[in-house]
Structure 1
């Protein structure tokens, strides 16, 4: 099993958010995508986190825009007038990440209503599991589309892989839920803890890790991701907001 692959046919516009400069592109399948570049400042490890976390969350019932791999021809970059973007496009020639563009969506700020106690608790638990530090009110990384909540931008999760801290250290690393957009859901996290922990099996983790293309990952690192995540699952009392059940 692998992610679908499309080819970028036109660069539409940049999304000047953060330092990675994602952009909107059109693909040869007539789809429109947000492209995340392997040549951006955060490097391919941010794309690895996007794939592992996004696809894990999807399989556990959360809405994540469809992820695909996208081939980028450097010729597209050479026709871009903005030098910074041109350089990024040329540097990112080859395989990148495409996230389905949700036209008309808007950032979640609470005004669209409460997604429900259980939904908030599930999102909080899963963010704590993957150590996602980027889901605050400053930047919720949540979109509302057709009245449903969609989760985006998981490149800041799994930050253990930047220095490859030991699995033991990551397993017991506490999660600060006080800054999370759904911190109010802490009292309900224990109710979803056992269900989510049981659903995250070794085979499920192997499946989502296998979706990462070889171009973005070092030999042997798939086993390291699996070991770190399984170790964290075994140490839930250390990081589950409000305590594991």
Structure 2
């Protein structure tokens, strides 16, 4: 894969439509200057820039592996944007998020995936389980599937809870090679009977150069916030090393998932 092919558009938010209060980070439906609607993830909410970094990395890894993912864009919030907002909580959130944020293209009319009503074949289930084990995504459970059905296709959303190692950076080298025990709670694990096959295929797609290209997308301003590293370059290097280590040791999280089934 050519690194030059990976690029995110940047839009300017022009209208705050409505808050989406399903999650703790309180994303919002907004309109941008390209006249499209987006689900905006705020840098000033909850886990801050780390959640946006996880959303960006998880989403673009998923897209590279062939999953349906709403377009991700960088969304710029002007410092004057929230002045007319009457809700103080939302106004504080807007002020704390001035500058660059992340947004997902809004899938109008999409419905939440219901595992009791919809069937997923074993190959697709295995592919999604593999991805979530790679990025340590704790948020694809029966209680909260973070999958949508849109135009009769399955779409993956909301990867902000992934890569939870970066909230402490404690023993990140060791964490990178570990299996993912919480995969036992994955909504699609019972159907994921092709994990070995998927592992071989996906490891060949996610090359070291491609991982570099995804990490290079992270805005410098996000990496400067609450960083334990001496430079942005070192910060990026750790993300690259973490992901490449997990991929090269994928048998650990694959075997964990197989045993959990």
CA distance in structure 1 between the partners assigned to 2:85 and 2:50 by the alignment: 26
Which residue of 1 is the match for residue 87 of structure 2? 82
CA distance in structure 2 between the partners assigned to 1:235 and 1:192 by the alignment: 14
Contact preservation (8 Å) 1:124, 1:185: no
SS of the residue aligned with 2:11? strand
How far off is 1:81 after superposition?
1.1
Which residue of 2 is the match for residue 226 of structure 1? 240
- Structural mapping, 1:1-245, within 5 Å: 1=4, 2-110=7-115, 113-165=118-170, 166-218=172-224, 219=232, 220-240=234-254, 241-242=257-258
CA distance in structure 2 between the partners assigned to 1:176 and 1:16 by the alignment: 25
Contact preservation (8 Å) 2:122, 2:193: no
Which residues of structure 2 form unaligned runs of 5+?
225-231
SS of the residue aligned with 2:82? helix
CA distance in structure 2 between the partners assigned to 1:214 and 1:85 by the alignment: 25
How far off is 1:224 after superposition?
0.3
Map Cα deviations across residues 154-191 of structure 1 (whole Å, 9 max, x no partner). Answer: 01111111111322233123333221010113432122
What is the Cα-based RMSD across aligned positions, in Å? 1.4
CA distance in structure 1 between the partners assigned to 2:97 and 2:114 by the alignment: 33
CA distance in structure 2 between the partners assigned to 1:186 and 1:4 by the alignment: 34
Aligned pairs, how many? 243
CA distance in structure 1 between the partners assigned to 2:12 and 2:132 by the alignment: 31
**What is the TM-score normalised by the length of structure 1?**
0.95
**What is the TM-score normalised by the length of structure 2?**
0.89
Which residues of structure 1 form unaligned runs of 5+?
none
